[in-house]
A and B are shown apart, each in its own frame.
Chain A
Amino acid sequence: MDAVFKALADASRRELLDRLRAENGQTLGDLCARLAMTRQAVSKHLALLEEANLVATVRRGREKLHYLNPVPIHEIAERWIGKFERSCLQALSDMKQALETRDE
């Protein structure tokens, strides 16, 4: 679990996860094209995310595709969120989202 928190403690790596959440299965090239980071930096961040098991990869021919793997984050939620709190938290989260997007 240390590796997961270490991996998440960086804005660039969180942004990479956001990108994968928006579109799963991207190559290194896809991810670099839309980020203001060098290819080397993206590659290094991805390696760290993969080590923490937050990113899973599969090979398709010569391409390496990257996927957001939410399993470790789910385990964190399971550890600290009780069974009966979940629906309350979901309601709060929905309310926040509804209120914050209303005027847009």
Chain B
Amino acid sequence: MSDKPKFVYVIYIASTPDKVWQALTDPEQTEKYWFGYRVNASGNAGASFIARNPGGEDFDKGVILESDPPRRLACTWRPQHDHDKHERPSRVTFELAPLKGQVRLTVVHDDFDEGSKAFEGISRGWPAVLSSLKSFLETGQALALSTSDVDDKRYAPAAAESGA
């Protein structure tokens, strides 16, 4: 039972697998819908996966485990905060499947360390990121979210500290 995924998210996006893949892996694009984060996941298996926050700091780091554009991307995910950076990295898998003129994007996040703190932030983060991605690809406009909207210090260290 312990090997079952912790989180599974599914979203349907009126776009093509190529465009969704590009939006997930190119920092120029993630910056526009992922709360300003630049996520670089364009390498092959073995290359690094880096999510950098708008302040230019590394937010999550990992390794690309599998890259099969535009179908499947898997990478390890290691948060870089004091409270969770000691944790064993978790794993994120994106699966893209064309379906009736749309793309069915499945995000599975699993393999968390026992008692993971990173785990707590995840459940609020992904639905917001995925909704914003959908809006970005379908309308050209991301959702007007900032990291503080996610209401979680993990996603909004700066806003939380400044009391915003």
Contact = CB atoms under 8 A, between A and B. Distances in A.
Contacts of A58: 4-5, 8, 108
Contacts of A75: 131, 134
A78 B135 CA distance: 11
Nearest to A50: B10
A65 B11 contact: no
Interface residues of A, number: 20
B151 A56 contact: no
Contact of B6 (A24, A60, A69): A24
A41 interface: no
B160 interface: no
A96 interface: no
A83 interface: yes
Interface residues of B, number: 25
B143 A69 contact: no
Contacts of B7: 24, 67
Which among B106, B123, B127, B134 has the greatest number of chain A C-beta atoms within 10 A?
B127
B78 to A, nearest CB: 22
Contacts of B108: 58
Nearest to A87: B151
Interface in B1-35: 3-12
A60 B106 contact: no
A71 B4 contact: no
A73 B149 CA distance: 16
Interface of B: 3-12, 106, 108, 123, 126-128, 130-131, 134-135, 143-145, 149, 151
What 9 A-B pairs are tightest by C-beta distance, nearest first?
A: A74-B127, A67-B8, A56-B10, A56-B8, A25-B4, A70-B127, A71-B11, A71-B127, A74-B131
Interface of A: 24-25, 53, 56-58, 60, 65, 67, 69-71, 73-75, 78, 83, 86-87, 90
